[in-house]
Each structure stands twice: as structure tokens, then as C-alpha cells.
Structure 1
Amino acid sequence: MQQVTALVLAGKRSGALDPLAANADVAQKCVVPIYGKPLIEHVVHALSLSPRIAEIRVVAHEPDEIAAIPLVAKLRRGGRLSFREAQFNLVDSAKSGANGALFPILLTTADNVLVTSAGYEEFIEKALAEEAGAAAALARKEDVQKADPEGQKRFYEFRDGSYSNCNMYWIGSQGALSAAEVFRGGGQFVKFPKRIAKAFGVTNLIRFYFGWGTKEDIFAQISKRFGYKMVPIVMSDGQFAVDVDNQRTYDVAGRLLARRDGLGEAAPSATDS
């Protein structure tokens, strides 16, 4: 079984205190509590349950607050989890986390609380099957809205449908790490379309804007730009596209975690694992 390294981006954007963190009276968003546990504990717990994950690297500016979480401390003592220093840019944080790591790398974020262990394994299996140099996880609009109508407000429009980003990425090799440069301007391309031109070129901006081409067509064009096979991975669960960005998505994620628990699908308390 091929194993991967998981990078969990848990830094601060531009060094500013996130509004959710301010409301929760904590120093950083990743430790804001949701449904009984800090955001990052949900993520680390799901990753730790997968035998595909060899090492979990948490990329953070302020690791002490995260290290105090019992599950994190336990995994750290066992050598499964370590910290890497975050930068004030997503690309530089990814490179910092990847330094000396075992490839391939699965990159996710500390607010991706709804992705399950099975979800991470689905992404890994599909990326390996595609022999991807780099990949991004997507969820169908209909699946996201089925999970919760308020889960996402904006979607990428392709000729074969509408999709949302799931904040899960695949970096197949050290060389493919250059693909992370598309986030140098901050990502969030649906909210800030002009960033597409800077990251992918004007031609691809036009293709995105008018929905010309399938998602595979667009990714093939991007692959030519970076020199590595970049593929879209469509996930089976629309919940995976809901991360905690603001109060609205915090409320949605809380509802979905509660519903999952009510259906008997929630993971057990991490402190009991």
C-alpha cells in the first residue's frame, strides 16, 4: 500500500486574527471549537484513521495552542505528527511543510472539518489511479446543495457541470510542487476571477468565465502550462466542499456534523481513540 504525507495548513492569512477566532477568544481560527472539538482536531482525527497517511505535518504560525490538543499531543508523542513553520502565503507554507517530506503529498486545510477518513482515502485512491502529478478535489453542485443549500454560494462552471473546490490537493512529486504557485495570489478563484488570469493565463480565464470546455479540458490546458499532469478528482460527497470560512459556513458545518452524529456516522471522540 503506497502511503502519503498529509500537510495540514493551519496558519494565519496575512497574520491577521480571524473573526471566528476573535469571537471564540482564541489566538487562531484552527482551534475555534465546533461540535465539541477544535476545527483542526476534526481534520487530524480523520487523517489519523487512514492507513494511507504515513505522516501528518501541521503547518502553523503558533503551534503551542494546537499542540495542547490531547489527540495532537498523542500523535506527536508517537511520531505520527509534527509541526512545520507556516509563512504568510499559501505557496510558501506548502513548500515549508513539504521540505524533506515523503511524496506524494495530500494537502488539506485545518478548517476542512467535514472530510472523513474515507473521504481522504477516496481522494488518494483516485489520484493514484489517475497517476496524477497534481490534482484538486471537486464536488458536484447538486451534491453540495443536497448536503446543505447554504453550503456554497459560488461554483466553477464547466461545460459538463458546476463544481465546488474541496480544499484537498495532490502533489505527486517534488517537481510538481511548482503547481502550488497557482495559489501565490491567494486562491479563492471563484470569489476573485482576476486571480485566474494571473495563475493560469488570460486564455484559461476566458475558458473559466464562459464555461468553455469540460473540467478535464481545462485541467489539460493547465497541465500544459505547468508541465505536469493535473487532474480534477470528483468526490462522492458534497459535504466535503464545505469548509469553515466564515460564520455562515461555520453554522452549516455545525449542522452537518450534528446530523452525521444523529445518523451514527460521526467519528468517536478523538480523546478516546
Structure 2
Amino acid sequence: MTSALILAGVRKGGDRLAEFAGVEHKALIPIGGRPMIERVIAALRASGRIDRILVSVNRPKALKDLDVEVIKAADTLSQSVVEGVTALGTPALVTTADHALLEPEWVRYFLDNLPDAQIAAGIARSEVVMGETPDTKRTFLKLADGSFSGCNLFFLRDMDALRGVALWREFEALRKRPLKMLQKLGPRAILAAATGRLTTDRVAAEVQRLSGLTAGKVEMPFGRAAIDVDKPEDLILVRRLVGDEAA
């Protein structure tokens, strides 16, 4: 079995999406009649693969009514992951409270298709994402083997994998700045990109070189796995999608 860490901290600058939705905390924004973090918790439990769930949140009192373990988030997201996974132990799946469309099937697929690596991330091809949600606005990383979006699903196989958390967060922060990401990956990645040979496997190899950890990916066949609730238009889209499913 695997433990799960749900990141529910709020970025610096305030909880603007919560203000837009008129709730105390972003994680409590109602979607389909219940707070979106409850949807995430329910999906993890229903997967049958998660035996313990911990929520990392900047204001634990805001989630006091949840039937789940809660820990106060650290000052940075990467440190919150380190502290949360240290409390849980490994192997651990990491996701976010705004992954409101999360389905048990996605969790099972992700865990069943993990590579033999210490760290792994779920990704989805642009054509899969746009095929399911053509009106979504996503940022895709264009590589030689396709264009990809992250799916807010990460796996840490052992405690040594925590060494790669800070690096992972750096790449997450640079996902909309491909040139900066290439610079971080190094000259070999820059050359591969310039010659049209930079693939997802090559990126994983460069991450492995930089972190000293074995790294891999799980390509998800579920386009909606790439959708999270980061801004008002995301919230409007996700509420519509949930309504469509319920109709």
C-alpha cells in the first residue's frame, strides 16, 4: 500500500481564488456540492491503493472538520513535501487539493504503471488533454516526442527520493518558461532541444543526472488529469465538467 500527501497550502500573495469563490480557504471551494479537497480525499480512498492520507495546509484550523490527518504547511512547497513525506513514510503519492477532478481509476493507473525509479511524475499528451477538454487553457511543454502537461501526480519510492523534491519544484516553477528550464537542465539538454532530440526520456535522464536519483514518468491516458483549479476560469470549467458528468 502507498501513503498519500495532499498539498493544500496557499501561494504567497493571498488566497485570491478563495476570495473569488467566497470561502475561507481555496481547498474548501465547493465543486459538485462538496469542497474540492473532499473530492480528492474520496478519490484516493476509493482507489483501494492508499492506506494513509495526510493534508499539508497553511491554516490547519480551516480544515478541522475533515476526517483526515492534517499537518501545518512549511514556508515553501518543497519543504512541505519533505515534512509531509517524512511524517508519512514511503512509498508516497503526492497530489494537490485543487486536483478536483481526480478519479480512483487515475490513481490506480498511475500506481500500476510506475517505472522502476525513485521519483516519477504523471504527464499527459496535449492531444489527450485537448481531446477531452477542448476549451481548457493549458501550458504544454513541447518536446521531440510530443507536447505534454503535468497531471499533479508524483511518486516518491523511498526516503532518498526527498533529495529530488527541491529540483522538482524548480522545474514546476519553470514549466511556463522553457528556455529557463533548458538552462537548468544543462548544455546537453540545450543541444538536444536545438537539434530536435529532446524527449521526455532525455529530460528524465537529465533530472537523474542533476539529482542523483532514478527518475521516470507515467503517461496518463486521461486528459482531465491535467486539469487543476488554479484560477477563476479553471473553477468555472471544472464546475461545468462536474455538472456535465452528473447530468
Same fold (TM over 0.5): yes
Which of 55, 65, 81 is the equivalent residue of 1:58?
A: 55
Alpha-carbon distance in structure 2 between the residues aligned to 1:229 and 1:102: 19
The answer to whether the 8 Å contact 2:92/2:156 transfers is yes
Gaps of 5+ in 1: 74-80, 263-273
| Counterpart in the other structure of 1:103 | 90
Question: For residues 102-251 of structure 1, what are the structure 2 equivalents within 5 Å?
Answer: 102-127=89-114, 130-185=115-170, 187-193=172-178, 195-196=180-181, 199-201=184-186, 203-204=188-189, 207=192, 212-251=197-236
1:224-251 CA distance string (max 9 Å, x none): 2212211111011100000001011112
Q: Which has the larger displacement, 213-222 or 235-244?
A: 213-222
Call closer, same or farther: CA 1:206–1:8 in 2, change over 3 Å.
Answer: farther
Q: Alignment partner of 2:228: what SS? A: coil
Gaps of 5+ in 2: none
Call closer, same or farther: CA 1:118–1:36 in 2, change over 3 Å.
Answer: same
Q: Which has the larger displacement, 180-189 or 245-254?
A: 180-189
The answer to whether the 8 Å contact 2:20/2:232 transfers is no
| Counterpart in the other structure of 2:19 | 22
| Counterpart in the other structure of 1:76 | none
1:163-188 CA distance string (max 9 Å, x none): 11101111111101111112454824
| Counterpart in the other structure of 2:36 | 39
The answer to whether the 8 Å contact 1:141/1:164 transfers is yes
What is the deviation of 1:153? 3.0
Give the alignment's Cα RMSD to 1 decimal: 2.1
1:171-227 CA distance string (max 9 Å, x none): 111101111112454824232336525753454366568753221122122112212
The answer to whether the 8 Å contact 1:61/1:85 transfers is yes
TM-score where L is the length of structure 2 = 0.91
Call closer, same or farther: CA 1:199–1:93 in 2, change over 3 Å.
Answer: farther
Q: Which has the larger displacement, 42-51 or 188-197?
A: 188-197
Alpha-carbon distance in structure 1 between the residues aligned to 2:136 and 2:83: 31
| Counterpart in the other structure of 2:10 | 12
Residue type at the aligned position of 1:60: V
TM-score where L is the length of structure 1 = 0.83
What is the deviation of 1:19? 1.8
The answer to whether the 8 Å contact 1:17/1:28 transfers is no
What is the deviation of 1:118? 1.0
The answer to whether the 8 Å contact 2:130/2:223 transfers is yes
| Counterpart in the other structure of 1:84 | 71
Alpha-carbon distance in structure 1 between the residues aligned to 2:105 and 2:45: 11
Residue type at the aligned position of 1:89: T
The answer to whether the 8 Å contact 1:133/1:228 transfers is yes
Q: Alignment partner of 1:163: what SS? A: strand
Call closer, same or farther: CA 1:21–1:223 in 2, change over 3 Å.
Answer: same
The answer to whether the 8 Å contact 1:11/1:88 transfers is no
Q: Alignment partner of 2:136: what SS? A: coil
Alpha-carbon distance in structure 2 between the residues aligned to 1:253 and 1:260: 11
